[in-house]
């Protein structure tokens, strides 16, 4: 029996891992549906056969662990191969991080079992998506959050879902996707009646579910391409410099001059209105740069009629606190955007005393960044209002809304060299595609090694550089103005809906089981009287 249960857990890990094929670069959406149907089938079978509660939850945890490990295996690659930490540290890190993330899948399944009602259509199509999205939302918020691997990002190229992004955002897309999975599960369970057209055995809830599914598809068709924003001003030409600087070279004091020379020559060649360098392209403060270097590259940019934006650390006060910034060096005041949502254990050190042993083993550079604060205004560059975000900030849609509403253009600067040749760069691009659609702005993604790309307001990647090539990509984009429904309301409608549905599930359960108890008591009294 233990062997059989162990095999089930292994199968669930593999099923969870199967979801990776639905995300970039594979993009096989059917794999996600199959995997989630497998999870739902396991849950329903376990409940129907009165499987031990602990076994059900452990199975859900195994599914979640497989889901996250398959997508986030690059944790290991970046810690072991790029940073050079000991093997045991890299292995522990991937187990701890993904083990923690899998707890949110366990939580969703626990809530589903706890709130599951006698009405299967409600359970599959309404309740299951709500508890799942609640888990995603909590995962994107607790301990500063981590929103990679949300179901929605597998839908950025789905034409029937793209139109929903500017209306309900990524959590709404996750909800709809899970609801469709529940609908398919209902069809499979009732396939003999539904597919045979046995109308007498098709209940009202099933009829309503079929109409509901049809409405989702029809609305998705008509929402696709619907425009909430309009062009602003003249097109702006942007030059994206992909330096392709290796990690070993970038942070080496012996190679700094060589790196600066590479960027200097690329800046001189870039002819555009805005020239972009990636996150921490310069790893030293501006006052530590060689004498006249900054003035020289500013001169190169201005000679070409460009404004130059460089990713670099910037000291912000007399105490020496510094931020991870995108600095407009051609501006006399050197206006800048400072990264707000920092990477825990990568850019700042929560519980530094408790984890001092960890930092001594991995020796990360510059982990003492300060946060730039929320709702920083867009920077006016080349007659455009630019909303910047840095690195994995593009994964937090609600945090970008305020700046995006006031902007005409969105730019992310990142350094993906940490993740080598893994799929991290592809997943990162999907986050940017979602943000482009939610805000209906052109979204520029500027990186060191790839993927450097331009995304249009409808989520389409219209230009991109090949990975690991030292190149400049120059293209023109339009500024956009206007407000999408998602920008107006954010995640509140979807999260409130999930909360109300969970409350409804609780009320139905309480009422239904209370009625059963009362009915049993009445029958017992009648039998005693007789």
pLDDT of residue 524: 53
Pick the catalytic residue from 279, 347, 399, 446.
279
Partners of 274 in beta bridges: 238, 307
Pick the catalytic residue from 237, 250, 314, 339.
339
CA 184 vs. chain centroid, Å, equals 25
Residue with more model confidence, 518 or 285: 285
Which helix (H) or strand (E) segment holds residue 309: the answer is strand 307-315
pLDDT of residue 158: 96
Model confidence band, residue 194 (pLDDT cutoffs 50, 70, 90): low
- Residue 339 catalytic? yes
pLDDT of residue 374: 87
Residue with more model confidence, 204 or 349: 204
Rounded-to-integer distance, Cα 37 and Cα 182, Å = 8
pLDDT of residue 253: 84
DSSP assignment of 127-151 equals IHHHHHHHHHHHHTTGGG---TT-G
pTM summary value: 0.93
Rounded-to-integer distance, Cα 127 and Cα 120, Å = 10
- Residue 231 catalytic? no
SS3 string, 318-367, reads: CCCCEEEEEEECCCCCCCEEECCCCCECCCECCCCCCCHHHHHHHCCCCC
Whether the pLDDT of residue 518 is over 50: the answer is no
Place of tokens 């206006």: 335
Q: Kindly report, residue by residue over 455-482, the tens digit of the pLDDT.
A: 999 999 999 999 999 999 999 999 999 9
Rounded-to-integer distance, Cα 425 and Cα 3, Å = 39
pLDDT of residue 346: 72
Pick the catalytic residue from 391, 393, 425, 438.
391
Whether the pLDDT of residue 172 is over 60: the answer is yes
pLDDT of residue 195: 67
- Average pLDDT for the chain: 91
Residue 406, phi then psi, degrees to nearest 5: -90, 0
Poorest-pLDDT segment among 98-107, 162-171, 265-274, 281-290: 281-290
In degrees, rounded to 5, the angle at the alpha carbon of residue 49 between the alpha carbons of residues 48 and 53 is: 90
Rounded-to-integer distance, Cα 180 and Cα 183, Å = 5
Residue 337, CB-side half-sphere exposure with 13 Å CA sphere: 30
Q: Kindly report, residue by residue over 282-336, the tens digit of the pLDDT.
A: 999 999 999 999 999 999 999 999 999 999 999 999 998 999 999 999 999 999 9
Q: Kindly report, residue by residue over 377-433, the tens digit of the pLDDT.
A: 999 999 999 999 999 999 999 999 999 999 999 999 999 988 889 999 999 999 999
Place of tokens 């995300």: 23
């Amino acid at each position: 029996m233990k062997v059989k249960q162990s095999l089930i857990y292994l199968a669930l890990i593999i099923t969870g891992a199967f979801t990776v094929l639905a995300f970039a670069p594979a993009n096989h959406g059917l794999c996600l549906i199959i995997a989630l149907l497998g999870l739902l089938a396991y849950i329903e079978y376990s409940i129907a056969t009165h499987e031990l509660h602990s076994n059900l939850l452990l199975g859900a945890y195994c599914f979640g662990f497989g889901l996250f490990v398959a997508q986030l295996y690059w944790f290991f690659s970046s810690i072991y191969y790029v940073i050079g930490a000991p093997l045991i540290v890299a292995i522990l890190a991937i187990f701890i991080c993904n083990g923690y993330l899998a707890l949110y899948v366990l939580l969703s399944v626990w809530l589903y079992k706890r709130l599951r009602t006698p009405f299967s259509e409600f359970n599959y199509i309404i309740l299951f998506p709500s508890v799942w999205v609640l888990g995603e939302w909590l995962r994107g918020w607790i301990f500063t959050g981590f929103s990679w691997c949300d179901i929605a990002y597998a839908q950025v190229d789905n034409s029937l879902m793209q139109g929903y992004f500017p209306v309900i955002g990524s959590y709404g897309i996750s909800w709809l996707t899970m609801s469709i999975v529940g609908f398919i599960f209902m069809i499979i369970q009732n396939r003999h009646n539904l597919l045979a057209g046995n109308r007498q055995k098709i209940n009202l809830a099933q009829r309503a579910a079929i109409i509901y599914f049809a409405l989702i598809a029809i609305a998705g068709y008509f929402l696709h391409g619907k425009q909430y924003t309009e062009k602003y001003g003249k097109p702006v030409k942007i030059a994206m410099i992909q330096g392709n600087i290796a990690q070993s070279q970038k942070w080496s004091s012996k190679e700094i001059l060589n790196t600066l020379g590479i960027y200097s020559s690329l800046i001189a060649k870039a002819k555009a209105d805005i020239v972009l360098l990636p996150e921490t392209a310069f790893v030293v403060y501006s006052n530590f740069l060689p004498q006249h270097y900054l003035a020289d590259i500013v001169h190169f940019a201005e000679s070409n009629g460009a404004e130059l934006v460089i990713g670099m650390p910037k000291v912000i006060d007399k105490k020496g606190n510094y931020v991870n910034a995108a600095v407009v060096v051609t501006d006399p005041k050197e206006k800048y955007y400072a990264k707000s949502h920092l990477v825990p254990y990568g850019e700042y050190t929560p519980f530094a005393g408790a984890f001092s042993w960890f930092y001594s083993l991995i020796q990360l550079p510059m982990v003492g960044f300060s946060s730039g604060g929320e709702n920083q205004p867009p920077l006016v560059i080349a007659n455009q209002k630019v909303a910047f975000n840095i690195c994995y900030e593009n994964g937090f849609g609600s945090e970008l809304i305020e700046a995006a509403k006031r902007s005409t253009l969105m730019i992310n600067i990142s350094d993906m060299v940490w993740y080598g040749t893994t799929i991290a760069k592809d997943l990162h691009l999907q986050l940017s595609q979602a943000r482009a659609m939610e805000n209906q702005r052109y979204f520029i993604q500027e990186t060191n090694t790839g993927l450097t790309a331009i995304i249009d307001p409808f989520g389409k990647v219209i230009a991109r550089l090949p990975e690991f090539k030292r190149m400049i990509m120059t293209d023109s984009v339009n500024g956009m103005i206007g407000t999408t429904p998602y920008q107006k309301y954010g995640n509140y409608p979807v999260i409130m809906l999930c909360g109300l549905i969970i409350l409804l599930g609780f009320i139905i359960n309480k009422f239904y089981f209370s009625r059963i108890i009362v009915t049993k008591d009445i029958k017992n009294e009648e039998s005693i009287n007789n």
